[in-house]
Amino acid sequence: MIALTVVLAVLAVAPAASAEWFLDAYLGPAITSGSTLTFTVFDEEQTQDLNGRSSPSFGLRVGKWFDDFQLPWLGVAFDVSYFRPAVDVQTVPLSLLLMARYGFLKDEEFRDGRLQPYAGVGPGLFISNASGAIGFQEVDDTSTNIGLDLRLGVLLRIDSNWGAFTEYRFTHVSPSWDVDVFGGKTSASTTFNTHHILLGVSYRF
């Protein structure tokens, strides 16, 4: 909530500042750690282990750096992506990110640096649709939850408009669904911690 408040505050004053806009596209593997599914049957809490798995991860991000706001290292972004933390679970995070960067190899053409390490953090609205089975339980439900989105990456500027980047991303979310148990339904919850290794391209305008 603190990160979201900062992002909204920066956006509120953004019209007064010149900005470097960017549009990023990325893809790579998402590796979800093993977790535990927890649910209640006959008033008793039951658990099942969920194996870790890997899946494709891809997404788009749009944002801006405040070059002429005397804060060229500060930016904000909105990100939408997709991955599958479990076999029958599809997750779409919608993230608001507070971004920071530092520039190396500065010259007349690249005043903010040709090589730019960066970081981003913020809340995400994670929409997790489970259709099929989770653990040994049948499920057809969608869970919407607030989670954490953390980014660390490095961008190499190719020319004034284009760049390429590599990025580590960590996502954390705890969804819950109604699952079928003995002819009835009960709530089941788990936590997905996912590590994403991403490659992408960036367009600056």
With the C-alpha atoms ordered 67, 100, 31, 86, is the resulting torsion angle positive or negative?
negative
pTM of the model: 0.88
What pLDDT is recorded for position 43? 81
What pLDDT is recorded for position 9? 52
Q: Which residues pair with 175 in a beta bridge?
A: none
What pLDDT is recorded for position 5? 52
Burial class of 42 by CB neighbour count within 10 A (0 to 12, 13 to 18, 19+): exposed
Q: What is the mean pLDDT of each run of 10 residues along the chain (205 residues)?
A: 50 54 98 95 88 97 87 95 97 98 90 94 98 91 98 96 97 96 88 98 95
Q: Where are the beta strands (DSSP E) in 87-161?
A: 89-101, 115-134, 137-157
Of the candidates 128, 145, 133, 166, the residue with the CA atom closest to the CA atom of residue 24 = 166
Tokens of 134: 């989770």
With the C-alpha atoms ordered 26, 123, 39, 180, is the resulting torsion angle positive or negative?
negative
What pLDDT is recorded for position 16? 43
What pLDDT is recorded for position 108? 84
What pLDDT is recorded for position 111? 83
Q: What is the pLDDT of residues 3-60, one digit of tens each?
A: 445 445 544 544 444 568 999 999 999 999 999 999 988 888 999 999 999 999 999 9
Of the candidates 71, 76, 69, the residue with the CA atom closest to the CA atom of residue 5 = 76
3-state secondary structure (DSSP) of residue 34? coil
Domains and CATH numbers, the chain: 2-204 (2.40.160.20)
Neighbours of 52 (CB within 10 A): 15
Tokens of 51: 């194996």
